[in-house]
Amino acid sequence: MAENTILKGGAFILEPGNVEICFTPEDWSDEHRMIYKTTMDFVNNECMPHVEKIEAKNEEFARQLFATAGELGLLGTDVPEEYGGLGLDKMSTCVVTEAMGTAPSFAVSHGAHTGIGTLPIVYYGTKEQKEKYLPDLAMGTKIAAYCLTESGAGSDAVGGCRTKAVLSEDGKHYILNGEKIFITNGGWADTFIVFAKIDGTDFTAFIVERDFPGVSSGAEEKKLGIKGSSTTPVIFEDAQVPVENMLYERGKGHHIALNVLNIGRYKLGAATLGGIKGALGIATRYAKDRQQFGRSIAEFGMIREKLARIATQAYMAESVIYRTVGMIDASLEHVDRADPDYPAKASEAIREYAIECAMCKVFGSEVLDYTVDECVQIHGGYGYTAEYPAERYFRDARINRIFEGTNEVNRLLIPGETIKRAMSGKLPFMQAATNLLGEIMEYSPLMVELPDEPLALQEHMVGMCKKAVIFVAGVAAQKFMMGLAQEQEVLARMADMTIETFALESGLLRAKKAIAKLGEEKAALYIQFVEAYLDETIPKIETWAKQALAYIEEGDDLRTQLVGLRKLLKYQPINAIAVKQAIADMVVEKNGYPLG
């Protein structure tokens, strides 16, 4: 792909969507499809029949699962071939992660191991470190964990870090002291990526082995969900870490921490997708089986609308996540693996999409929570009992809004990064805002003539949503200037508007691609998804925008701005209930997500 066909991170809001460069699940290669099937087979045959053993946090069984997964290559997609992995594209990793996302608890153990536990070495390790650690991690004979969080260092992971590293007198070891908490795989892991401050100041990462003197793990947390995963404190008491186990450079731990989180976030999005489709599947089958009032409850409109909404949101989440991974893969194609500066450059290529990664995480985890909530509801009282898997899905989903950066922290990142890039001139945001504020008074929705083709109205509205985001952001920036960073309620609304616009556009571009390939008739479901989602989302975007404006301005200024906003988001509702009825038919017919 040529340089100019790559969409810059955060730039989607400023540019018209381009179908050509929008990656979709329909663009999966044969290999991606086979990888998906192998992973699903692994989950269905190796995990699902053993839910009880997994839930009991059986370490031996967990190790066995890791070993089997390792043999199948399910741990090595991101590990280069020369270190025992497969060195595949990010898409392949996401395909594995999505399928694995349906595995009870093991999804999280697997995600922590392959993601935050292994990637710091892949990207920042020296040749010796890679040779020493990666083959075992790719084969699953050793388990990895990532130790960032401390009691005083949660969302403020870098600033709050108290774990200290001091060089030993003989200069051979760093002596680590401190306690990390909530560490996934903490009780099982053989290698830990640990963040500590050298001399209490320089935030730095280390590769620590369980067998090093002074390393231990504490008691298992009693958790709401993902009970089959290990979560413990990891304690360092004069732990001796050989100097050659420092990862990357002194004082550059935050590069690792933040970059690995970027990857962790789109991967988490993919994992939630697995959960969403899994929960929709069990909800649909239950609804079809359950009879009340002499009919299957899947015939009731309110139940059908729930199924349709979940499927619609699943489609949007899928579109967002695979589009983002497509962008990252395209961007990584320009980084030469042989370049000695590869880690820094590859991380930079991924960091470019920090905004999109955060959107994958927030959107995926919130769609999942909506899904598991309605899944319990569709099960009625049975959904509240442990007899049915709906209850476990409900509990297991909740963590996703908390780890890999809480959804609040991720929401802040979205406008935060955008503003940063606007200020540095990387994104011509200010220009767009100035132009828009100038033209909006003359703009009239009456002048708009839509072509007579499917989704023309939706495409137009997506363009208008982008303008609404720029409009609110422009007004807010003008008013608060540097103080905007403190106005979290406004930032949250900007984030939500941005996320929903990104979702809408991703779903729209995917549908347009489907229409071009299959024709309007066969792409009907894609069209319906976009129509249904847009119809429910425009009022939300308008409300967030109005609330923000009402907070920022008052009097005549406010009135003028509200008039401008109303013009932008002028939308006459379609018959969305009928559209959702058609979607529900497909969900019921296919026993779940109808594009799966």
Partner 1 sequence: MNIVVCIKQVPDTETQIKIASDGKSIETDDIKWVMNPYDEFGVEEALVLQKEKGAEVTVVGAGPQRVTEALRTALAMGADKAVLIEDDDFYGADPITVAKVLAKAIEPLNPDIIFFGQRAVDDDSGVVGSAVAEFLDMPQLSVVTKVEVGDGTVQAHRPVEGATLVLESTLPCVITAQKGLNEPRYASLPGIMKAKKKPLEVISLADLGVERDDKLEIVALNPPPERAPGKQVEGETGQEIAINLVKLLREEAKVI
Ligand X SMILES: Cc1cc2nc3c(=O)[nH]c(=O)nc-3n(C[C@H](O)[C@H](O)[C@H](O)COP(=O)(O)OP(=O)(O)OC[C@H]3O[C@@H](n4cnc5c(N)ncnc54)[C@H](O)[C@@H]3O)c2cc1C
> Would you tell me which residues interact with partner 1 (CB under 8 A)?
30-31, 33-35, 37-38, 41-42, 71-74, 76-77, 86, 88, 92, 96, 291, 294, 522, 589-591
Q: Shortest Cβ contact with ligand X: which residue?
A: 154
Tell whether residue 55 is a contact of ligand X (CB under 6 A). no
Q: What DSSP letter does each residue of 135-186 carry, written as one string? A: HHHHHTSS-EEEE--BTTBSSSTTTT---EEEE-TTSSEEEEEEEEEEEETT
Q: Fill in the amino acid letter for 309.
A: R
The window from 26-34, 378-386, 404-412, 475-483 that contacts ligand X (CB under 6 A) reads 404-412
Of 310 and 491, CB closest to ligand X? 491
Of 41 and 59, CB closest to partner 1? 41
Rounded distance between C-alpha atoms, residue 494 and residue 492, angstroms: 5
Rounded distance between C-alpha atoms, residue 274 and residue 261, angstroms: 20
Closest separation in Å from C-beta 149 to partner 1: 31
| Among ligand X, partner 1, none, partner that 72 touches (CB below 5 to 8 angstroms by kind) | partner 1
| Among ligand X, partner 1, none, partner that 35 touches (CB below 5 to 8 angstroms by kind) | partner 1
Closest separation in Å from C-beta 333 to ligand X: 30
Residue 114, SS3 per DSSP: helix
Write the Ramachandran bin of 593: left for phi over 0, alpha for psi from -120 to 50, otherwise beta: beta
| Among partner 1, ligand X, none, partner that 406 touches (CB below 5 to 8 angstroms by kind) | ligand X
Segment 144 to 163, residues that bind ligand X, using CB under 6 A: 145-149, 154-155
- The active-site residue out of 404, 487, 500, 542 is 404
Closest separation in Å from C-beta 314 to ligand X: 24
**86 exposure class (CB count in 10 Å sphere: 0-12, 13-18, 19+):** middle
Smallest Cα–Cα separation from 195: which of 138, 246, 128, 232? 246
404 membership: H or E segment, kind and range:
none
The answer to whether 158 touches 96, Cβ cutoff 8 Å, is no
Annotate 203-243 with three-state secondary structure. EEEEEEECCCCCEEECCCCCCCCCCCCCEEEEEEEEEEEEH
Q: What DSSP letter does each residue of 320-382 carry, written as one string? A: HHHHHHHHHHHHHTTS-TT-TTHHHHHHHHHHTTHHHHHHHHHHHHHHHHHHHHHHHHHHGGG
- CB burial readout 29-40, b (16+ within 10 A) else e: eeebeebbebbb
Closest separation in Å from C-beta 278 to partner 1: 14
Closest separation in Å from C-beta 72 to partner 1: 5
Of 42 and 403, CB closest to partner 1? 42
Structure tokens at 549: 């404006």
Active-site residue, 531 included: no
| Among ligand X, partner 1, none, partner that 325 touches (CB below 5 to 8 angstroms by kind) | none
Q: What DSSP letter does each residue of 426-445 carry, written as one string? A: SSTHHHHHHHHHHHTTT--G
Closest separation in Å from C-beta 245 to ligand X: 18
Of 77 and 498, CB closest to partner 1? 77
Of 115 and 564, CB closest to partner 1? 115
Tell whether residue 192 is a contact of ligand X (CB under 6 A). no
Structure tokens at 557: 């200024």
Closest separation in Å from C-beta 209 to partner 1: 27
Smallest Cα–Cα separation from 90: which of 426, 327, 405, 399? 327
Segment 85 to 114, residues that bind ligand X, using CB under 6 A: 112
Tell whether residue 139 is a contact of ligand X (CB under 6 A). no
| Among partner 1, ligand X, none, partner that 224 touches (CB below 5 to 8 angstroms by kind) | none
Spatial neighbors of 363 by CB under 8 A, at least 6 apart, are 269, 316, 317, 320, 499, 502, 503
Closest separation in Å from C-beta 100 to ligand X: 16
| Among ligand X, partner 1, none, partner that 112 touches (CB below 5 to 8 angstroms by kind) | ligand X
| Among partner 1, ligand X, none, partner that 149 touches (CB below 5 to 8 angstroms by kind) | ligand X
Structure tokens at 385: 């009992």
Rounded distance between C-alpha atoms, residue 188 and residue 538, angstroms: 47
Rounded distance between C-alpha atoms, residue 508 and residue 527, angstroms: 8
Instruction: Identify the residue among 243, 402, 450, 516 touching ligand X (CB under 6 A).
Output: 402
> Within 10 Å of residue 233's Cβ, how many Cβ atoms?
21
| Among ligand X, partner 1, none, partner that 71 touches (CB below 5 to 8 angstroms by kind) | partner 1
The window from 42-50, 181-189, 232-240, 415-423 that contacts ligand X (CB under 6 A) reads 181-189
> Within 10 Å of residue 539's Cβ, how many Cβ atoms?
12
Of 233 and 592, CB closest to ligand X? 233
Structure tokens at 457: 């109205």
Of 164 and 285, CB closest to partner 1? 285
Closest separation in Å from C-beta 295 to partner 1: 9
Segment 423 to 462, residues that bind ligand X, using CB under 6 A: none
Site map (CB under 6 A) of ligand X, residues 459-498, x = contact = -----------------------------x----------
Q: Fill in the amino acid letter for 97.
A: T
Of 96 and 112, CB closest to ligand X? 112
* DSSP type of residue 8: P
Instruction: Identify the residue among 35, 134, 409, 440 touching ligand X (CB under 6 A).
Output: 409
Tell whether residue 397 is a contact of ligand X (CB under 6 A). no
Tell whether residue 399 is a contact of ligand X (CB under 6 A). yes
Closest separation in Å from C-beta 103 to partner 1: 15
Residues annotated as part of the active site: 404
Which residues bind to ligand X, rule: CB under 6 A? Answer: 112, 145-149, 154-155, 182-184, 223, 231, 399, 402-403, 406, 408-409, 488
